[in-house]
Amino acid sequence: MNKKFFMDYLPEDLLKMGIEPKFRTKQLYNWIYRKYEEDFEKMNNLPKNLRKKLKEEFVINPFELINKEISNDATEKFLFKLNDNHTVETVLIKMKDERIENGKKKEAKWTVCVSTQVGCKVGCAFCLTAKGGFVRNLSPAEIVAQVWFMKKEKNFDENKALNIVYMGMGEPLDNYDNIVKAIKIIENQDGLNISPRRQTLSTSGIAPKIKKLGKENLGINLAISLHAVDDKLREELIPLNKAYNIQSVIDAIKEFPIDKRKKVMFEYLVIKNKNDDISAAKKLVKLLNSIPSKVNLIYFNPYPGSPYERPDEETMKKFQKYLLDKGITCTIRESKGMDISAACGQLREKEIGKRDEK
Ligand code: SAH
Ligand code: SF4
């Protein structure tokens, strides 16, 4: 019998599967997501026969770590092998070091960049993940376990809240049901207990799915990969723009419930001589004027054979200054982990390349 992956299930699913009463599912969530226990046998407050049944039916860890790289800025990149031998990557980024603020000791801040698919269907012209085409969706367990593994690996305290960005490989809204389920499992208070307010979903702009997600009222943050302000260029960069143009994406965002203290994040990949001039910045300001927004400028990160070039720092700063002067919050994404090819998709490509050489 093929075993099931425990992390695919919410407590209510487990109850329906005959794992009851409710406090048992709570105990299980505690063991797995808070104590990072991988062996049912060791869950010593569960009856022996239940432990045996669970062990026969379920697997806890759905994948195997096969490569890890640490950059000199403390960004860590993990490559996992799934049970069908496909690979997927997760990036752990240290956003802030341990520090003293107002006389108080503050813990380091970490963000996990989570993948949602093996490959991607969207086929963006600048993206390495797109080059390998689409392979398959990740299951809820394979999404949840990326976060669980980071907490376990770093031995983080069970109450340590990480930030999660669904910005790894894949288009999360093309794997709609599984991503929604994963968000709920990660949120569960008896488990990882990471609030949706700390979870950000990034999409290339599948307008109807943005609307649908909005109606779920999950409380998550939304990031939109905009990258261009006119439809012609956006179509070149993101083919999906033919189906859902810029205006349709903006209209969908307007229906998305946004926490009063929060903003929608617009990611703008800056490519040399393509979308980096001030006239683009001007259009961007106009486009965003009806949405509480912040802009994240990203340096295009070249890879062998990539069709575009990285912009220089001065151009980035000028673009940023224009937005700031117009009152739009605008950050430049530091290229974390440049030395370990941390732009999503790049570690996996390297690994596949290595295998091809053998
Ligand atoms: N599919 C979703 C989420 C994953 S892509 C989306 O497109 O939003 C996550 C991010 O990786 C995107 O913001 C994209 O701009 C960025 N990215 C892809 N290729 C890149 C490259 N070559 N250099 C820098 N960022 C890149
Ligand atoms: Fe897919 Fe996002 Fe890459 Fe586009 S940028 S191909 S949507 S992963």
In angstroms, the CA 9 to CA 61 distance is: 13
In angstroms, the CA 114 to CA 95 distance is: 15
Each domain of the chain, given as residue ranges in start order, spans 4-58, 61-357
Encoding tokens for residue 347?
A: 């570690």
Ligand 2 pocket test, pick from 171, 175, 349 with the greatest ligand atom count within 8 Å of Cβ, gives 171
pLDDT tens across 224-244, in order?
999 999 999 999 999 999 999
| pTM confidence score | 0.94
- Do 113 and 267 touch, CB atoms closer than 8 A? no
Name the pLDDT band for 355 (thresholds 50, 70, 90).
Answer: very low
In angstroms, the CA 199 to CA 2 distance is: 32
Residue 337 has pLDDT above 90, yes or no: no
The answer to whether the CB of 127 is under 6 A from ligand 2 is yes
The answer to whether the CB of 122 is under 6 A from ligand 2 is yes
In angstroms, the CA 349 to CA 63 distance is: 18
Q: Which of 7-16, 48-57, 96-105 has the least mean pLDDT?
A: 96-105
Residue 81 has pLDDT above 80, yes or no: yes
Residue 103 has pLDDT above 60, yes or no: yes
The answer to whether the CB of 199 is under 6 A from ligand 2 is no
CATH of 4-58, one of 1.10.150.530, 1.10.3720.10, 3.40.50.10700, 3.40.50.620: 1.10.150.530
Give pLDDT, residue 328.
96
CATH architecture entry for 61-357: Alpha-Beta Barrel (3.20)
Q: Would you say the C-alpha torsion 157, 159, 163, 165 has a positive or negative sign?
A: positive
Residue 143 has pLDDT above 50, yes or no: yes
Average pLDDT value for residue range 103-120:
93
Give pLDDT, residue 348.
55
Higher confidence at residue 146 or residue 334? 146
